[in-house]
A and B are shown apart, each in its own frame.
Chain A
Amino acid sequence: GAVVSQHPSWVICKSGTSVKIECRSLDFQATTMFWYRQFPKQSLMLMATSNEGSKATYEQGVEKDKFLINHASLTLSTLTVTSAHPEDSSFYICSARTGGESYEQYFGPGTRLTVT
């Protein structure tokens, strides 16, 4: 149980275009979803936290107009990287939490974004 999927697993896009990444909880309802970014040989960096039906809470330094997050349902959250630049190239990972007494986060497999 507690499987999280992400799509696409990798994407290459041109500078200036937008890319949407989907995160789905397959067998549970995720009250909270998290979006992380990870550069090579660095730790996870939390970008934003989103609860279903409400606006995402962004971490300091993360541009909310550039990284659009939509948590439309209890099983789906999307991250759209708008007007992508080469410095946005990174490994983007989502995770989901079931809520209640459990604070364990279940991670998706990640999406590797390369902006050329």
Chain B
Amino acid sequence: GQNIDQPTEMTATEGAIVQINCTYQTSGFNGLFWYQQHAGEAPTFLSYNVLDGLEEKGRFSSFLSRSKGYSYLLLKELQMKDSASYLCAVLDSNYQLIWGAGTKLIIKP
């Protein structure tokens, strides 16, 4: 079966750095997405990785290791507005997005 694992909840302090991990086992791989979802709102796109390595975009970076079936989202200089759920999703061999359950990130002052 297809499986995507990410922690259910994480807590971090404003101004700090947090890393949200995602491991996956899917039938084929055509890329991995990270989305941010604030409570009561729809997801918004953060990043897309299809090759191994680190992609940096401002305060957010995303890393992929295809051989390990592993990705992480790194958030730096955390702000209160970063409190949200972060969804990991993998595009499988049928180009279907397989979604993780999401990681709820709580930022404390």
Contact = CB atoms under 8 A, between A and B. Distances in A.
Interface of A: 34, 42-44, 46, 49, 91, 93, 95, 103-110, 112
Given A43-B87, A43-B100, A44-B87, A103 B41 contact: no
A103 B31 contact: yes
Given A105-B45, A107-B44, A110-B42, 5 more contacts: A43-B102, A44-B99, A103-B30, A105-B97, A108-B42
A104 B47 CA distance: 9
B24 interface: no
Contact of B48 (A43, A93, A104): A104
The dominant DSSP class at the B interface is loop
Interface string B3-35: 000000000000000000000000000110101
B100 A93 contact: no
A110 B42 CA distance: 6
